[in-house]
Amino acid sequence: MKRLCFVLIIFCLLGLESKAQKILTNSVTHTPVGGALVMDSEGHLLGITKEDGLLTDEMLSVGKIDVVHSAFEPVEFQVNGGAEENLEMTPIVSSVSVRGKDRSKADYVKLRGWQRNYQFENKNLTFITEGVVEYFIPINGKGKIKYRTEGLRQLMAKGMSKSYDVTKVNLFERQPLVAKDKKVVSKTADATVWKIMKAGQPFGIQYDMPGGNHSLIEIPDAIAGDTVKFKFFVVKFKFNYISVGQMFTPYREDGKYTIGDLSLSHTFYSVNSSVKKKEVVYNYVEDFYTVEAEYLTKDEAKRQMKIKNSKEAVELLPNVPALSKALMRAKHDFVPSK
């Protein structure tokens, strides 16, 4: 009987240890890292961290995790220990200043950088697109954002249909992010929390982190018909709901964000869909790393936009992190998706 009690106590202790909290943190500011993509060592998606940086039980159940975040170096962690701990991520130091014409005389801002989009179906990586993209963004906020590409590579898992690939389609849908209609919920030295409003109703939460020099926007749920941003999805799928998980942008004190101000951007979508009466969960990640930014007049922009897309292979741009080890493993036998 004593032996049985002893064994039960040991199992209870092991159970308690498995629940120990582990939090992703910035190694410089020691603040939580939200918006981090967490996978197992083979590249299967386990989830994405919220603003508290806390790893879920599912993330802790695999022993070793691979963590990706557009503002940090990709990293692997061993998480099967029972102790509570902070898992530190190293931030990417990148600063981009806009060169060229004085802003008052410019009509466009051109961003040149590295686009990396990937898509998961039921937690398995199915598509990945990456390469150089130049965006031409009207400064007045009117008109469409145009772009040209260099060495853009589209890959997909064997057996997939390219008709389900939205990793490139979303390039057409990129819109400036302007968060104006919002209310302060709380404010401390470390963070300001805003409630984002849409048509007078709560739409999401924004966390401004001056110390970490970024903002994290969480929009829990959005119906496909409510927003133009998702019109490209509607063509392909019938939706139950869309969760716009998170958008990550650099912090701006005035609270107004446009893509022309960004040195990097990160967006995560989660979609529950019905395809041929089969329930499927799609997760989509979009990262853009700006390397150069330039003001252009209308004529200068027109001339540059006429340059055709280049299919020649390109090297990874400076200050852009390489794919994580898990993503490299997951795509090792991918084939072109055209």
Residue with tokens 């089969």: 278
Of 241 and 273, the one with more pLDDT: 273
Instruction: Render pLDDT for 215-270 as a digit per residue (tens, 0 to 9).
Output: 555 555 443 333 333 333 333 333 333 333 344 444 445 444 444 344 456 677 77
Domain residue spans of the chain:
2-89, 98-336
How many residues belong to the chain? 338
Instruction: Render pLDDT for 17-37 as a digit per residue (tens, 0 to 9).
Output: 445 789 999 888 788 888 788
Return d(Cα 249, Cα 289) in angstroms, integer: 11
Q: What is the pTM of this model?
A: 0.72
pLDDT at 112 over 70: yes
Two tokens at 285? 């990640």
| CATH T-level fold of 2-89 | Immunoglobulin-like (2.60.40)
- Give the best-scoring range by mean pLDDT among 188-202, 223-237, 239-253, 288-302: 288-302
DSSP secondary structure string for all residues of 101-145: S-GGG-SEEEEEEEEEEEEEETTEEEEEEEEEEEEEEETTS-S--
- What SS3 class is residue 9? helix
Return d(Cα 334, Cα 158) in angstroms, integer: 6
Give the H/E segment covering residue 247: strand 238-250
Task: Name the maximum alpha-carbon separation found in the chain.
Answer: 87
Residues of the chain above pLDDT 90, percent: 28
- Please report which confidence band the pLDDT of residue 149 belongs to, taking 50, 70 and 90 as the band edges: very high
pLDDT at 103 over 90: no
Among 218, 190, 221, which Cα is nearest to 25's? 190
- Please report which confidence band the pLDDT of residue 47 belongs to, taking 50, 70 and 90 as the band edges: confident
Distance set, CA 220 to CA 2, 57, 188, 282 (Å): 50, 20, 23, 15
- Please report which confidence band the pLDDT of residue 158 belongs to, taking 50, 70 and 90 as the band edges: very high
Among 162, 126, 160, which Cα is nearest to 271's? 126
